[in-house]
Amino acid sequence: MTTYLLKPGELTLKGGNRESFERILKRNLLALLRGSGVSVETANGRFFVHAPEEARSRTEDALDHLLGIAGWAKSRVCGKTPAAVLEACIAEGQALFEAGIRTFKIEARRTDKSFPLDSYGIRREAGAAVLEAVPGLAVDVHKPQRIIDVEIREKAYIYSAAGSSPEGPGGRGRRGLPVGSAGRGLLLLSGGIDSPAAGYLMASRGMKIDAVYFHAYPYTSDEARRKVVSLAGIIGHYALGIRLYIINFTPVQMRIRERAPLEWTTVLLRMAMMDCAERLARSRHDKCLISGESLSQVASQTIENIGCTESRVTLPVLRPLIGIDKEGIIKIAVSIGTYETSILPYQDCCVLFSPLHPILRGSIEEANRLYEKLALEDLIRRALEEAAVEKCGYPEGQAIPGAGSTQSGPGLNVQEGIPPPQWEGRPCQSR
């Protein structure tokens, strides 16, 4: 049996809400580890996870994906005697030395005041014992490579910050709040770099995520759809599963192309996506829309065009990336494991029209006048009726972590035999 110690992240800051956050965190953990024989114990703001040997790698994978903890560490558990504690510290020090660590310090906490050494005494004696037993290690109280932590509670727990350093995304322990503690939102998920990162960020604020992907079959390929399903699977692994709605927007795009000035097509398409997404969100009781827009990244993301894009919806539109530059967004994408998939070269539905000179600062009045002329009501209603749904990254399907779809929905209701494009699609650099 291996014991892991978890430090809840911001939960400690949440005063009266703390109990309910802890309950959600525990529920999420149990959902991620269902059927694995792992048990979870909570005491005084700490979580202890006891995993049988055969469940170790699954447990560590789950802890690496669990939102709402500041860190986790594999812990040595021993009896509450100074001798047993020093022995465990020496074993930890030896293991650190073998892993290439050269400097350490001891930290100690004692909730059981009947333990014969106080925390200062534990630090002093354990430090001396490790120095003597592991000559290659030196103490560095200011910048140690690793900290050996001793906690004297119901039992004694000894662990080191190797594997528990709370480095945020990419480190072990992802911080944030537990998924399900902050309502539900609908993510507009394309196959790009940005929207998966946006979805992850909102999940890490505790939001339960649904997702919608608009494609333009047959102008966009089946690979493009699979890529988005894969991305939803990766995010779903953190978000305890994502229900991905796949909506064929070809008729809407065609209508826009037929009735709108070319330079307005991208902005109008974004407006139609938001319009459609909001209807879906309301039917799912999602309380907001989430997009991957970042200010001025492309022409459709000037502040004026963003104003047009959201002008027809009343749900809040959350844009967690709005002030982050591309480099910063890529870092997030790399750390959560979506980047490699996002850069696969399949085009999403915007390729159908990508004007060379898109409008840069659209006026909301003009946008709405043009939008109404499109008379999209029936097309959007039908697109929603024909939506396909896939369940992505649900805990039960974690045999291949991050591999995407785990349970298929009804399949795609795409129309076959749509004629080839009447205009040339262009890559979407200038959106």
What are the structure tokens assigned to 122, written together? 């534990």
The Cα 184–Cα 379 span in angstroms is: 26
22 binds, among ligand ATP, Mg ion, none (CB under 5 to 8 A by kind): none
Residues in contact with ligand ATP, counted by CB under 6 A, come to a total of: 21
What are the structure tokens assigned to 316, written together? 């809040």
Phi, psi of 250 (to 5 degrees): -55, -50
276 binds, among ligand ATP, Mg ion, none (CB under 5 to 8 A by kind): none
Nearer to Mg ion, 214 or 238 (CB): 214
**80 Cα distance to chain centroid:** 39
- Exposure class string for 331-342: b at 16+ Cβ within 10 A, else e: ebbbbbbbbebb
CB hemisphere CA count around 422 (13 angstroms): 7
Nearer to ligand ATP, 104 or 249 (CB): 249
**Which positions from 30 to 59 touch ligand ATP by CB under 6 A, shown as an x/- string?**
------------------------------
Q: Least distance (Å) from Mg ion to the CB of residue 175?
A: 27
75 binds, among ligand ATP, Mg ion, none (CB under 5 to 8 A by kind): none
Using the rule CB under 6 A, give the single segment among 332-340, 347-355, 392-400, 405-413 that binds ligand ATP: 347-355
Q: What's the Cα-to-Cα distance from 337 to each of 24, 193, 195, 226, 345, rounded to whole Å? A: 25, 11, 13, 16, 17
What are the structure tokens assigned to 414, written together? 């795409």
Nearer to ligand ATP, 86 or 193 (CB): 193
Contact call for residues 129 and 89 (beta carbons, < 8 A): yes
Contact call for residues 49 and 59 (beta carbons, < 8 A): yes
Q: Least distance (Å) from Mg ion to the CB of residue 248?
A: 17
Q: Which residues, other chains included, contact 344 with Cβ-Cβ below 8 Å and sequence gap of 6+?
A: 191, 223, 227
Nearer to Mg ion, 190 or 305 (CB): 190
**Which positions from 307 to 346 touch ligand ATP by CB under 6 A, shown as an x/- string?**
----------------------------------------
Q: Least distance (Å) from ligand ATP to the CB of residue 173?
A: 27
273 binds, among Mg ion, ligand ATP, none (CB under 5 to 8 A by kind): ligand ATP
Site for ligand ATP contains 431 (CB under 6 A)? yes
Cα angle value 35/167/173 (rounded, 5°): 10
For ligand ATP, the binding residues in 182-201 under the rule CB under 6 A are 188-190, 192-195
Q: Least distance (Å) from ligand ATP to the CB of residue 388?
A: 14
Q: Least distance (Å) from Mg ion to the CB of residue 348?
A: 5
Element (H, E) at 373: helix 364-374
Nearer to ligand ATP, 63 or 333 (CB): 333
Q: Least distance (Å) from ligand ATP to the CB of residue 379?
A: 16
Q: Which residues, other chains included, contact 246 with Cβ-Cβ below 8 Å and sequence gap of 6+?
A: 212, 213, 215, 225, 228, 229, 387, 388, 389, 390, 409, 412
Q: Which residues, other chains included, contact 176 with Cβ-Cβ below 8 Å and sequence gap of 6+?
A: 9, 10, 67, 68, 203, 204, 205, 206
Nearer to ligand ATP, 159 or 213 (CB): 213
Using the rule CB under 6 A, give the single segment among 51-59, 176-184, 210-218, 387-395 that binds ligand ATP: 210-218
| Cis check: omega of the bond before 419, within 30 degrees of 0 | no
For ligand ATP, the binding residues in 272-301 under the rule CB under 6 A are 273, 291-293, 297-298, 300
Nearer to Mg ion, 194 or 390 (CB): 194
Contact call for residues 43 and 26 (beta carbons, < 8 A): no
Instruction: Determine the 3-state secondary structure of 38 from DSSP.
Output: coil
Q: Least distance (Å) from ligand ATP to the CB of residue 224?
A: 9
The Cα 307–Cα 365 span in angstroms is: 11
**Which positions from 175 to 194 touch Mg ion by CB under 5 A, shown as an x/- string?**
---------------x-x--
Contact call for residues 262 and 355 (beta carbons, < 8 A): yes
Q: Which residues bind Mg ion (CB under 5 A)?
A: 190, 192
Q: Which residues bind ligand ATP (CB under 6 A)?
A: 188-190, 192-195, 212-214, 273, 291-293, 297-298, 300, 348-350, 431
